[in-house]
Structure formats: structure tokens, C-alpha cells
A and B are shown apart, each in its own frame.
Chain A
């Protein structure tokens, strides 16, 4: 009986293609909107997560904060960190994989006739480990180079391309301000960060070299720490905060004059705001699904009226009320489900096009596809039930007489 109802419904839908298409348009748009929104949202989330894991896994960044001068005076930048802080973190905190100090300076890099404005980072040989970054060629800094502040450097891929194009940079000497600096290595390409910044646009040199020969002070402006795998970054973060408060002699009750930023937190904040937006758009789309359901109900009611005589004939030859109910309900559900399927196809195509345009990964979320399908079928049941019930309750005599 059910199979018959299916065949019957299919024929009825095919019989009036234009009307059927218009009927399901609401559902199609609703489902397509849900799928597109969710696909874009998920793609953006995946992109942010990938970017953040590219910055380095389990990365904590420690920055100076705004110091609070006594008596409400003007705020000044709080004192910088020192190499002693870096050593203390490395030695006293459990679960730390690597610690790297860093100070930066923006400068012009010159090689031959080429010049390129870039950022110079002074750090230690741990920097690559903290950032989970490999060398494409060349070598890392040696201990003696770090200790004595030799003018050697590693180039980010962008800098290499801008200064050397296809030439081999290893062993060449570039100029950074007045400093002649030998290239000993080139970093692997990292690409753009989630915040649109070119991560390969940098020159890395020993901290001491930067301090002495470029900026002229002994400051460490930030410290980057990577936690070991399986260690809670929250725990490491809390330990670092305690240690630094102690070392920087911050009295209990006063605020930290530094920040420890967990990139995972940044990521999850970003992700959750994307999620909120996605579910909001999803809710709007769900409303259009309900509107689509009303459209189906409308057409089914018209269809019941038009087919009153047919219903009467069916009742006369022995159809029971529930046979008629099933017939119309199956037709409504089939219409809605068809709308759902078309909507899913359209939504996925639109999602694929949009993710391509926004350069975020295309993430197929099977559960949202299933959910949309089930939801649209459910819309068919809910909004098809009333017209089907009306058909089933027709009096056979009146229905047979109906013109």
C-alpha cells in the first residue's frame, strides 16, 4: 500500500511539474540557505583553526601590558622582559617544550638593487621550535652566534623572493639599515595568517645582534612559549603568570602588567563567534523552511479541493479514510523531501562556490545535510497532515457529486 502511495504521489507530482516546482520553491530556498550558510561558516571556522595551528601548536604569547603608575598618573608601557625571565620560564615551569624571546624592528632590507621593507625579529634558536617552523634550506643559529651576536640571519620566503628572486641567497650578505648580515638559512613558506598577514615577510636574527646592533637596548619585548603535547595550556599559562608576577614584583591585589595569550583561546573565541553567526543565519533560514511548509499546505488544500471527485471515486471502490490520508500525506512529504534534496544540491553548490570565492576550505557537514533533509520531510508531514486529514474525512456521497 505504501509503495502504491509512493508511485501515486510521484505521478501526481510529475503530472503538474510547474505547480510542483513552485510549491517546493520555499523549501528549496530554505534548505539551500541553511546549507550555504552552514558550509560557509564551517569553512571559515576550519580556516581559522588551521591558521592558528600554523602559528605553532600549543603556543602561548607573553606581551608587556600597560603599567599602572601610582596615583592615576599617565600610563606607561610596563618594563620589558629580560633574558633572565626567559631562562626562568624555561627552567622553572613544568610542561614547557620551548621558550623563545623576541624583539622586533621594522626596517629596510637591501640586496644589490633590490630593497624590501620588512620586520626583523631578534630571537634564539628556539624560535623555530616554538613556532613549529622548519628551514627550507640552510641552518639554524649556533650557540656561539647567539652568544656573541654575530650578524647572521634567516629569511622568510617573501623576503627571499623579493631580494633574490631565483638566486641562491645562502651565504649572501644583505643590508639591514647599516648592518651587513649574512644569510644562513631560508624558512619554509607559511602563507597568510587568519588575520590576513603575510607570515613569510620577516627576517630572523639572533636577539643579541638585534639588541646591540640595531635597536641599541637589551629589552625582550615578548616571549613565546610552546607547551608540550598533552599538557594543559591553561595550567602552563597560570604557572607563567605566577612566576612573572613574582619576578616583576607585582603586589597581590594589583593587576598584571603583562598578558599571556593562549592562541587556542583566541581561536575558540573566533570559532564561537562564527558559530553564533552561523546558527543565527541558520535560524533565519529555518523560518523560510516553515514558510515553505505553509506553501505546501496551501497547494495541497487546493489539490484536495480539485481532486474531490477522484477522492469520492477512490472511497467508492473501497479506499478507507486512512488510504486517502496516506496518499495525500505521502504526496506532501514527497514534495517537501524533493524540495529538500534540490535545496541540498543547490546549497552545497552555492557553498562550494562561496568557499572558493572566500578562499576558505569547503567542509562537507553530513549531519547538517541529513538534518535539513529530515527537517524538510518533517515540514511535509506537519503541513501535509491537515490537507490530508481533510481529504480523508470527505463524505463519499458529497465527494462523488462534487463538480
Chain B
């Protein structure tokens, strides 16, 4: 089983992580000592009210930001002391991102969007095309390779974004409100896809959401409040399939 504390080596290990924005009077303590471990193969939902610290925590987990104090180990490596370039290398080689707003390059075909991370990995052009095509097939977008984002529906755009995130076979996929801009039916499709990737492809997923029925799809729910973890519990997936 995934998500068990006795699993060998955590992918992600936060201990006593704090994050403080600003100085003096205007100081905001976004995280007040977080301890969190995520193991390979987990599907974690991160929930909590706005300002609870979940976004800050995800930015740190995604190596986009560094903690003010505390340690963050990613696959055993100390992220807190890394330079921006070293963190960029981590993102390039081990992480995938899916955003609420899709963040696809406009006027750029689906195929080229999916190829983007491989460009920075210096993957040869032919292999790049091949892998991007396969990733698009995996998310069910065969035949849409040449479409630009404006020609695709929201759900299709998010699928392209997911293909872009998984094409490099990342250790962890971070999804920041992946269904936030989508209607219920499309949200379910996206959740089905993420579940498939987690269960069949073994990709570890950490997903921020504030919709309980989206969080319900996952196997573990972490709730943030006021910069601390309020609860961290195993979840028995409830996968609604309303149409």
C-alpha cells in the first residue's frame, strides 16, 4: 500500500519549515513550523482556507521558493540551501507542474507545449516529438497535436498541461487547483486522468484544492490553517461519477 509511514524513503521531507514574508511590523508568518513527509506513489490533497499557508507550502515543495528556516529534503537532497539554478535543475529533472490557469504558451501547438520541458533537458528533436506524441496519447489528445490552446476546450488545455507535466517522467507532480477553472463534468475527467496516472503509472501527486469532492478522490488529505497543519489523514477515495 502507498502512503504508509513504513514505506522506505520519503520523496519529500519537510521538518520545522517556516516562511516569513516582509520585515518588522508588516511581517507575515505564512508557515509556522511544518513537518510533512510524502512517500513515493502517494496521491495527496492539500486543503485549507485562503491564507492558511497551503500555497506557500506548495511553492516550497515545488522548489519555486525556499523556506525561511527548517529543512526540506527532496530525495534526500537539501533544497533549502540550493541556488536558484540548482532548484531549476531539480524542477527540470524531477518535477512536473499543473496550474489552475493551464499556463500553456499561447499560439503554440499542443505538441510544442508538451515538448517545452524537454527543450530545457536538451532532448534531441526526434525523440522530443516522439515522447510528446506519446504523452498526448496518454491524456487522450491524439489528433490534437497541431491545435493551439485557443482551439482547445478548457479540459483539453488542462490535459495538454498534464501531458507537459508527465512527459519528463517526474518523481512528483504538483497540481495547483487543477480543476479550479473547469466545470464539474470536466473536473471529473481530469480527476480520472490524475488517478489513472497515480495508480497505473505510479506518479506521486500533490494537489492543492478547496473543493471537498475533488479532494475526496485522493488517498490522503492534509489541511492547513493559520500556517500550520491542522490535520493529516488517510482518505478512503470517494469517486463520484455524476454527469
Contact = CB atoms under 8 A, between A and B. Distances in A.
Interface of A: 1, 4, 15, 309-310, 312-323, 396-397, 400
Given A4-B119, A317-B97, A323-B120, A15 B107 contact: yes
Given A317-B91, A318-B88, A400 B103 contact: yes
Contacts of B105: 310, 313
B85 A396 contact: no
A317 B164 contact: yes
Interface string B95-139: 101010101111100000000110111100000000000000000
Size band of the interface chain B makes with A? 20 to 34
A318 B65 contact: no
Contacts of A323: 120
Contacts of B121: 318
B120 A317 contact: yes
A293 B84 CA distance: 31
Given A1-B122, A313-B105, A397-B65, A318 B117 contact: yes
Q: Which of A313, A317, A323 has the most CB of B within 10 A?
A: A317
B102 to A, nearest CB: 9
Interface of B: 59, 62, 64-65, 84-85, 88-89, 91-93, 95, 97, 99, 101, 103-107, 116-117, 119-122, 164
26 contacts: A15-B107, A310-B105, A310-B106, A313-B103, A316-B64, A316-B91, A317-B92, A317-B120, A317-B164, A318-B88, A318-B89, A318-B92, A318-B95, A318-B117, A318-B121, A319-B120, A320-B84, A320-B88, A320-B89, A321-B84, A321-B88, A322-B85, A323-B120, A396-B64, A397-B65, A400-B103
Given A315-B88, A316-B64, A400-B99, 12 more contacts: A4-B119, A310-B105, A316-B62, A316-B91, A317-B92, A317-B116, A317-B164, A318-B89, A318-B120, A320-B88, A320-B120, A400-B103
B103 A309 contact: yes
Given A15-B107, A400-B103, A318 B122 contact: no
A314 B88 CA distance: 10
Contacts of A315: 64, 88, 91
A40 B71 CA distance: 70
Nearest to B121: A318
Contacts of A321: 84-85, 88
A101 B106 CA distance: 84
B64 A320 contact: no
Contacts of A320: 84-85, 88-89, 120
Contacts of B97: 316-317
Contacts of A314: 116, 120
Contacts of A396: 64
A284 to B, nearest CB: 40
A5 to B, nearest CB: 10
Contacts of A312: 103
Contact of A397 (B64, B95, B106): B64
Nearest to B92: A318
A30 to B, nearest CB: 31
A383 B152 CA distance: 37
B158 to A, nearest CB: 14
A4 B121 CA distance: 12
A314 to B, nearest CB: 7
A312 B101 CA distance: 12
A210 B89 CA distance: 96
A316 B97 CA distance: 7
B124 to A, nearest CB: 12
A126 to B, nearest CB: 77
A172 B107 CA distance: 85
A309 B101 CA distance: 10
Contacts of B116: 313-314, 317
Contacts of A310: 105-106
A47 to B, nearest CB: 53
Nearest to B108: A11
Contacts of A1: 122
B101 to A, nearest CB: 8
Nearest to B94: A318
Contacts of B119: 4
B105 to A, nearest CB: 6
A1 B121 CA distance: 9
A308 to B, nearest CB: 11
Nearest to A4: B119
B91 to A, nearest CB: 5
B64 A318 contact: no
Nearest to B164: A317
Given A316-B64, A318-B117, A397 B122 contact: no
Given A309-B103, A312-B103, A318 B85 contact: no
Contacts of B164: 317
A400 B62 CA distance: 13
B117 A317 contact: yes
